[in-house]
Amino acid sequence: MTTLPALATVSDVAMWLRTSPKAIYAMVERDQLPGVIRVRRRILFDRARLLQWLDKRRAVSSEE
């Protein structure tokens, strides 16, 4: 069993959301994603916060 790292890259998040890295950068600029961690010019994501946010969004959309 492979465990996921605590931090995710822009490429990881783009793959999870089935979009492009360019779209992820735009979402970061608009403060649309949680768990963003900036290290100099690099953008990383707190995987746990992002997955929790995705889970909440999925629960809301399935109730509609």
Per-domain residue ranges of the chain? 7-63
Provide φ and ψ at 38, rounded to 5°: -100, 125
Q: Output the six-digit token pair for 43.
A: 């953008």
pLDDT of residue 41: 93
pLDDT tier, 57 (very low <50, low <70, confident <90, very high otherwise): confident
* Residue 53 tokens, joined: 């946010």
pLDDT reading at 64 higher than 60: no
Residues 62, 23: contact at Cβ < 8 Å? no
Residue range 37-48: mean pLDDT, rounded: 95
What band does 5 get if pLDDT is binned at 50, 70 and 90? confident
Report the predicted TM-score, pTM, of the whole model to 2 decimal places.
0.79
Pick the closest to residue 13 from 40, 49, 63 (CA basis): 49
Residues near 53 by beta carbon (within 8 Å), at least 6 away in sequence = 33, 34, 35
Q: How far is the C-alpha of 48 from the C-alpha of 31, rounded, in Å?
A: 17
